Structure 1
Amino acid sequence: MHTLIANKIRSRISFNAVLVSFLYIIASVVLIYALGYHGAKGIDILLMLLILLTLPTIPLLRYLLVIPFFILCAIYFPIGYIYGKPSVSVISALMQTNKLEAHEFLLSMPVTCYLLPILVIALLTAINRYAWRSPPPVKRMLPYWLLLILIVLSYAVTHNLHKLKLTDYFISIFTGYQDYQEQIAQLDMAHASAPDWQVIPPKQRQANYVIIIGESMRRDYMSLFGYPLPTTPFLDQVNGDFYSNYISTAANTFESLPRTLALSQGEQVDYANNVVTLAKAAGMKTYWFSNQGFVGDYDIPASRIAAYSDRRYFLKHGDYQSLNTDDYQLLPPFADALKDNHNGLYILHIMGSHPDFCERLNGAKPAFSFGNQDLSCYLSTYRKTDDFIRQTYRLLQQTQRPFKLFYFSDHGLARHNIGGNFYLRHSVEFKQNYEVPLVILSDNATQHRQIATPYSAFNFIQLFARQTDITITRPSMAAYALQLEHRRVYVGQNMLDFDGLAEDKVDLPDENHLHG
């Protein structure tokens, strides 16, 4: 009888030991995944396992550190599953999100994301029941404590704590928050200097003006300017002015947009004197709608200008790649703003043709089929941008008020040979990196005019002022004379002669493997 009882006890103890070991191992993997790391090395699992084995044996550490850590993982798991580990984008999204956006985020999450926190809490409950109710003596855990301390010290003395996912998580929170504060400080600097525009406002005070800022669109792939596939069917037939010899200021968004939307002669940018403050000086209400980033190293220059607008609407609180939101999501808030105002400037900053091109289609089938998938999606983003312009144009028509719609791309792209295949990516050495479209549509245009006069985006503000009938009396525009000949572009702190750049080939359709 005693033998039978002893065997049952040993069996129960053995089963409990196996179960606890299994729970610890599963919890170690799940908790690392919950922190936003989708691949864990053996050392990361070992470190987490040692923490779960040692710290809970001391009740104070269990309640002050381990259980709160489980709760943190449960809360962060849905965020980590979608966005990964903490970053300035994640931190800024958390800091900037309001109650309505938080509610929309919760509703938009996949069902899986709701199950992940439940999994963490279930593991915590199981471990508490089977392991922590009768923890082993602290002395028995000394070897595990020593191993834990040894691992942490070995990484600390070699300044490699960031290579451990657990410590990197908390380091990333700290550095991400620091970066966020620095970038918010940069945005606050936007108001450090006041604009000094003095203008004679337009006689027409009931007009709306829209600027759509495109992304990564080369002019030579547009059917509007002769490409043999119908990449821009709406722009091909609508009346307006279409500039066939317009170039951007630089070959990337970071450098191009501030030099387009604010006064600049090259390296220096007068952020205060920009197109937004010019419109406000002329009595317009200003709006900025963006599907690009709010903060982020590449987004801050545009956001500094956006900060001057009366109202701002960003689909992304992080950087441009923090969410794959659709450009079409800008149209409803834009339509609402049109109803509330009849004399405004509305800037819509879209993702357009930003790499990854297929991601820009948001699940839609490419409109064209090349042997090169990258090019198929790239040309299809032109169709999407063309349709975005069409829908914006229709919304303006519905107001039955005078309007002008400007569209330009911030820069182009160039062909790169990667692994024997050609891809369109950023570059600075070709004319096509700067040859972008400029389109001006209006309520009273009666002709479809192609304008071959050379223009530079350095003179966009003068062009905007002329098109909106704003007369600038101060500051003097003499220093910003039109670049009609010998146009230059900004390349990494230098101004280069545009005409001296090389030509990049355009991919033309092949009847054997291409259709649209």
Structure 2
Amino acid sequence: MAATSRRTYLFLIAFFSLIGMCYTPIGLNYGYPDVNAVGSLIYTNGNETAEYISGLSVFTYLTAIAILVLMIFALKVNITLSGKSKKGLLALFFISAFWSPAKGYIKSGFEDCSELFDTSLPEVRFFSDAYQSYQKVMSENNRFAQIIKYRDDWQPVVKEGKYDTYIMVIGESVRKDFMSAYGFPTKNTPWLDNANATVLTHYISAAPSTQLSLTNSLAMREANELHLNNSIVSLAKKAGFETYWLSNQGMKGGFDSPVALIGQQANHYTFLKEGSSDDRSYLPDENLLPYIRKALVKDGQKKKLIVIHLMGSHPQPCARTDGKYGSYFHSQNIACYLQSIQNTDSLLADIEAIANKNQLHWAMLYFADHGLSFVDKNTERENLTHNDSHKQNYQVPLIITGYDYSTENAIENADQSKAGKHIIDAQRSGLHLLPMLATWLGIEEPRLISACDWFSNQACQNQHTVISFSNEYQDFNHLKDDSINFH
């Protein structure tokens, strides 16, 4: 019996320690295994996992090592207890761990056995939370997979407009404070710096991760539920636009992500990372150019909406630039991050050149899905990663330009202007982006009528709310600051 107890003890120590070591990289950044953490694991492929791990802070690695050392120490410790002491400790453990769950089970009339797992005991709660979160993610995905099959119920009215081609470029993981277009001293956005455009200086993303942000920005939310069938793509399609979704992000992991499902609503869609057939570390966004050129060919009388979803500045940044960068700032990782933003700027310039060459009456909107937070700040290992506790996780660019933008019409009715820019300083939230996109496309829809004039400096209501990793609303204004250290 003593030998069996000893083996059980050793197994449990090793089991929970190894689980703790493996979950440390996620737990320290995302917290307990909630829906976002589990969803991120499901949607992330092997390459992105490796990139994520390589960008972790030293503290994360030290924590994992500490768990390993404590595990070895615990395995070697040999404490002899009397039989009575063992029984007493075991009873104390079960009473403290399961007193509250047992009460809940009794109150449920012995019907809800899940109450027995509703304990704050970490070893039980971890698996309970992970299982419940997995069930929620799978349930949501099944719901999304079903609802995406439903016909949209948009009722669009298209107004006469001066544009025949609308280009929406979605950047990835871009903090606006790292762009020279928003004041960063290194000139890494030369095209945006010089473009006549409308610039929103206080736009905040809906959420701090791609799936949460884009689904809540590009699809209709009613009664606190997302309806992916009613997306910006299906709206434009219903309004008679020829629609395109060109993506440098994946379509299939274990199953299609919600954003990929929105993309597949388009008349024409391309995913460079479809499945794992083309899943390489370095797949630059410029590989989308042949598909962009094809989409920007002038043909027919239909208006077009072309959505271009970039890999952009996704961690790890040096994987985005093949380790190359122009100017050094703080660390190699940050230098690569600056270069990745410049690469996106170059791609925007290429898109403009193609559209002009084809003599299109085009308009282009560029924004990013979310920002990032510093790790190992003010060290030579300084890097950026996902987080939801800082303002910079949500502060992203949003810029609109077009073939007919000039200094005159860019600053028309603007309160502030500079170098052909119409500057909008009023705060705007990505949770209310869909009505603005409809207005931009010249589409009227009864459910998308908004009292907020996005294209003015009007102070609008409810523009400070964002979504956290746990898919809960939080006040952006109450978040901590994670600004760049220029000293």
TM range (shorter): 0.5 to 0.7
User: Which position in structure 1 is the counterpart of 2:294?
Assistant: 336
User: Which position in structure 1 is the counterpart of 2:345?
Assistant: 386
The C-alpha deviation readout for 1:260-313, integer Å capped at 9, x for no partner, is 111226952121111101111221010110000102379601111012111111
Amino acid at match of 2:436: L
**Contact 1:358/1:374 (8 A) holds in 2:** yes
More displaced 10-residue stretch of structure 1: 410-419 or 183-192 = 183-192
1:504 to 471, 482, 486: 482
- Post-superposition offset of 1:419: 11
Distance in 2 of aligned mates of 1:463 and 1:306: 19
- Post-superposition offset of 1:354: 0.4
- Post-superposition offset of 1:359: 1.1
Amino acid at match of 2:233: V
**Contact 1:294/1:319 (8 A) holds in 2:** no
Distance in 1 of aligned mates of 2:325 and 2:399: 24
Larger radius of gyration: 1
1:304 to 251, 254, 261: 261
1:472 to 445, 455, 460: 445
Tell me how many residue pairs correspond in the alignment: 331
Distance in 2 of aligned mates of 1:459 and 1:243: 14
User: Which position in structure 2 is the counterpart of 1:445?
Assistant: 405
**Contact 2:207/2:213 (8 A) holds in 1:** yes
CA RMSD of aligned residues (A): 3.0
User: Which position in structure 2 is the counterpart of 1:406?
Assistant: 365
CA 1:268/1:182 → structure 2, altered by over 3 Å: closer, same or farther? closer
**Contact 1:265/1:458 (8 A) holds in 2:** no
Matched residue SS, 1:405: strand
2:471 to 493, 496, 505: 493
User: Which position in structure 2 is the counterpart of 1:316?
Assistant: 273
Matched residue SS, 2:439: helix
CA 1:466/1:479 → structure 2, altered by over 3 Å: closer, same or farther? closer
User: Which position in structure 1 is the counterpart of 2:187?
Assistant: 230
- Post-superposition offset of 1:457: 1.1
Distance in 1 of aligned mates of 2:433 and 2:337: 26
Distance in 2 of aligned mates of 1:481 and 1:239: 20
Q: What's the % identity of the aligned pairs?
A: 31
**TM-score, normalised relative to structure 2:** 0.63
CA 1:414/1:267 → structure 2, altered by over 3 Å: closer, same or farther? farther
1:377 to 321, 336, 344: 336
CA 1:241/1:479 → structure 2, altered by over 3 Å: closer, same or farther? closer
Amino acid at match of 1:500: H
CA 1:488/1:390 → structure 2, altered by over 3 Å: closer, same or farther? same
Amino acid at match of 2:423: Q
The C-alpha deviation readout for 1:379-426, integer Å capped at 9, x for no partner, is 111110110111111111122121111110000001112895422111
Amino acid at match of 2:385: R
**TM-score, normalised relative to structure 1:** 0.59
User: Which position in structure 2 is the counterpart of 1:29?
Assistant: none
**Contact 1:254/1:299 (8 A) holds in 2:** no
User: Which position in structure 2 is the counterpart of 1:42?
Assistant: none
**Contact 2:181/2:189 (8 A) holds in 1:** yes
CA 1:479/1:350 → structure 2, altered by over 3 Å: closer, same or farther? same
**Contact 1:254/1:298 (8 A) holds in 2:** no
User: Which position in structure 1 is the counterpart of 2:416?
Assistant: none
- Post-superposition offset of 1:206: 6.1
- Post-superposition offset of 1:478: 6.4
Distance in 1 of aligned mates of 2:437 and 2:372: 25
Distance in 1 of aligned mates of 2:223 and 2:367: 19
CA 1:496/1:358 → structure 2, altered by over 3 Å: closer, same or farther? same
**Contact 2:170/2:308 (8 A) holds in 1:** yes
**Contact 2:427/2:463 (8 A) holds in 1:** no
Distance in 2 of aligned mates of 1:294 and 1:315: 8
Amino acid at match of 2:284: D
Structure 2 spans left out of the alignment, 5+ residues = 1-42, 47-137, 408-420, 455-459
User: Which position in structure 2 is the counterpart of 1:396?
Assistant: 355
Matched residue SS, 1:370: coil
The C-alpha deviation readout for 1:174-218, integer Å capped at 9, x for no partner, is xxxxxxx99997774353322111111131386000111100000
- Post-superposition offset of 1:251: 0.2
Amino acid at match of 2:397: P
Q: How does 1:246-395 map to 2 (within 5 A)?
A: 246-264=203-221, 268-296=225-253, 300-318=257-275, 322-323=279-280, 324-339=282-297, 341=299, 343-362=303-322, 365-395=324-354
**Contact 2:180/2:193 (8 A) holds in 1:** yes
The C-alpha deviation readout for 1:13-45, integer Å capped at 9, x for no partner, is xxxxxxxxxxxxxxxxxxxxxxxxxxxxxxxxx
Distance in 2 of aligned mates of 1:476 and 1:383: 34
Distance in 1 of aligned mates of 2:273 and 2:245: 13
Correspondence 1:423 to 2:378: no
Distance in 2 of aligned mates of 1:389 and 1:434: 22
User: Which position in structure 2 is the counterpart of 1:65?
Assistant: none
Correspondence 1:189 to 2:146: yes
**Contact 1:248/1:456 (8 A) holds in 2:** yes
**Contact 1:89/1:296 (8 A) holds in 2:** yes
**Contact 2:219/2:228 (8 A) holds in 1:** yes
Amino acid at match of 2:355: L
Amino acid at match of 1:406: L
**Contact 2:163/2:363 (8 A) holds in 1:** no
Distance in 1 of aligned mates of 2:339 and 2:204: 23
Distance in 1 of aligned mates of 2:462 and 2:171: 25
Distance in 2 of aligned mates of 1:487 and 1:232: 27
Distance in 2 of aligned mates of 1:316 and 1:401: 29
**Contact 2:246/2:307 (8 A) holds in 1:** yes
Matched residue SS, 1:435: coil
Distance in 2 of aligned mates of 1:269 and 1:481: 24
CA 1:319/1:209 → structure 2, altered by over 3 Å: closer, same or farther? farther
Amino acid at match of 1:458: L
User: Which position in structure 2 is the counterpart of 1:209?
Assistant: 166
